Structure 1
């Protein structure tokens, strides 16, 4: 029996926006699960009696968890529907955040961070697919850009809120606040989320899952798009993971100052997303990516000043801020084009994209962490520039094979 066809939405109003706003509130909760604890990580490692090298490990474990279940959730949501899978995932995320109250050593903390990362799986493999299916291309790009701006509140206020909170409460209570935010998001999704992929008849078979993933990952254009997105995001994720060491441990900042110095980076990222929302239906998508690539590369090159001024963390903040503006302008377009580069079910494609990108982010963070102990800020700059070069190469090849049609219908 064929599924009823969901008609993508082209006109936005407040009733329609309730779904993406609820979705982004949950996305916000998963992000602050990382961002709010950043200024508290030095306190975490001191409490558990381990060294500063463990500071970014909590983030890399979280991102690795964000890739761990996507292989299943994408095909599962293609089969049983996006709505029940996402609602179940949000509830599990709430429970995993509350479980942080019970951890007593660094290994259990890192293991729980990995489990909390599963919350990202539901965002990427299910939530993003539902958003892209719910709207036509130009509207989806606008919605994605606007969602990104709301989600960007997390790295703006997350470190500041976390720094203030640990002044008055134990760091574990950060996760209680995160659980409360996610619970509110669950209520909104329950009320407003449409079913963009109605359940299909028949069981979910391992052979069918394997064939679908093989088709997606064997698609050269998809791989170029996924690698473009992964390479573009590595410098930002590496900055988020390593910045507590750069600014607090090495530069001697207070947690509050650390939070303030995050603002230029994420304001620039937000401005890039606002520019994308403004011009998404006025310029060809290839042009938007090209416009974003200039600031991306220029900003990363600026960080190389640390080769001559090893303690010049200001060069890193300035360069990453300029890079972040370009990333905000290009990233949502690349995501949309990559998601629709394959004809396989969008849950499977979104899961494949999420696994590639999140694993790349985890590896990038660990690579920066390992080399930073020996070569400091210069190593961060070199890895970031290498990622920028990979992004430029892959994105150009990806866009060169862009199909001639403007609209890819879900």
Structure 2
């Protein structure tokens, strides 16, 4: 069904679409977070070192960059719906194929292929939500969808640890494939068509010129960089916490999983707060409110680990405060960046996704290098550096937004 005007209220069919989309997103995250407690089992089976634990996530994020440049303009031309359905089907098949990997290289290759699913979520799925619903409703929905997606890092490590106590890591990927099939059915039934202009050119020259114009747009570039930077500490923690807590600190998988809870519970609290504020305050205000918790949390974590590298409680507390701030700022910053340009929203979402995921991947590699060289203090300092860069970008972004209005 084609939406001619953004919906201001939810019907049952309206609701099935974001629920199916967030289920697909949830599974793409679970495909990483549930396997994280078992990544040391994977590296042991393939007889490689612990550095491959974070390489798995880096490969996953690299896959998330691969097709962004094409999917945005493609969905602007042929429509969001067929592109999204193909993406969900591809992810389902790549999960099932993981059962037969025989080396760490094959495993990482399939992780890269599974990461391509991130292209569809950002460039196609989120763009559809923003187009199909009004600003206030879309921000509320994005905040609530983020809460569901956060169940992956919140419950994923604990669920993965429990599953691995009775099952094999390969069996997990059959579960991911089955859940994706359910999401695919819901998307096929309820996903609206909000785009599709056969007059848009898909030539390489027109695509590149469109992205060049977006790169010159300070709001699109600045917002995209900011979204990536504010996400780095979260995903760096997801990527490296098994090494930090299980291998080096000697904690059990269950204890490791429990230490994830306050960080992601705080993010959910931030998203719920944003949902309450949406429609009551200007879109910029929650972003301003989130600045303090983000910077203060990262500063607490850095200070604590520099004083005592084994202060895991303070590290978790600082990241939790940061997580609350991130929950406040993310959805509004995404919306403002997406609508800061008159270009097709698929193309803008693709640019946003490519830039932010590239920043996240580089950030994870930087935190990985800092951790293996300088320990927890180096890990936290890189996170704080990303937070301070984000702060500068957000201040400039909000000023430019106010100037344009």
TM-score normalised according to structure 2 size: 0.97
Within 5 A, what are the aligned runs for 1:264-275? 264-275=262-273
For residues 191-247 of structure 1, what are the alpha-carbon distances to aligned partners after superposition, in whole Å with 9 as ceiling and x for unaligned?
Answer: 000000034246521111111111111101111111111111111111111111111
Shift of 1:110: 0.8
**Considering only aligned residues, what root-mean-square deviation do their CA atoms show, in Å?**
1.4
Per the alignment, residue 154 of structure 2 pairs with 156
* CA-CA distance at 1:39 after TM superposition: 0.2
Give the aligned length: 403
Find 2:248's aligned residue among 236, 243, 250: 250
Deviations 1:263-316 (A, max 9, x none): 101100000000000011111122110101110011000012110101112221
| Residue range with higher mean Cα deviation, 194-203 or 135-144 | 194-203
Residue pairs, 1:56-75, within 5 angstroms: 56-75=54-73
Deviation at 1:6, TM superposition (A): 2.3
In the alignment, which residue of structure 2 is the partner of 1:173?
Answer: 171
Alignment match, 2:207: 209
Counterpart in the other structure of 2:291? 293
The 3-state SS of whatever aligns with 2:331 is: helix
Distance 1:347 1:202 in 2: 12
Provide the rounded CA distance (Å) in 2 between the counterparts of 1:5 and 1:215: 28
Evaluate the alpha carbon distance shift between residue 405 and residue 141 of structure 1 in structure 2; reply closer, same or farther with a 3 A threshold. Answer: farther
Q: Which residue of 2 aligns with 1:55?
A: 53
Runs (4+) of structure 1 exceeding 4 A deviation are 403-406
Write the distance in 2 (CA, Å) between the matches of 1:216 and 1:376.
39
**Shift of residue 5 of structure 1?**
7.1
1:314 aligns with 313
Post-superposition Cα deviations, 1:83-142, rounded to whole Å, max 9, x if no partner, equal 000000100000000010111111111111101100111101110111111111111111
Structure-2 separation of matches of 1:89 and 1:47? 30
Post-superposition Cα deviations, 1:387-408, rounded to whole Å, max 9, x if no partner, equal 01011100010000115799xx
Q: Bigger shift: 207-216 or 349-358?
A: 207-216
Q: Larger deviation: 298-307 or 200-209?
A: 200-209
Distance 1:308 1:183, change over 3 A: same
Whether the aligned pair in 2 keeps the contact of 1:313 and 1:377 (CA below 8 Å) is no
| Corresponding position: 1:398 with 2:397 | yes
* 1:50 positional shift: 0.7
Residue 362 of structure 2: aligned partner: 363
Contact (CA 8 Å) 1:160, 1:256: kept in 2 or not? yes
Q: 1:238-260: per-residue Cα shift (whole Å, max 9, x none)?
A: 11111111111111111111111
How far, CA to CA, are the matches of 2:364 and 2:227 in structure 1? 15
Q: Given that residues 6 and 197 in structure 1 are in contact (C-alpha distance below 8 angstroms), is that contact kept between their aligned partners in structure 2?
A: no
Match for residue 32 of structure 2? 34
SS of residue matched to 1:402: helix
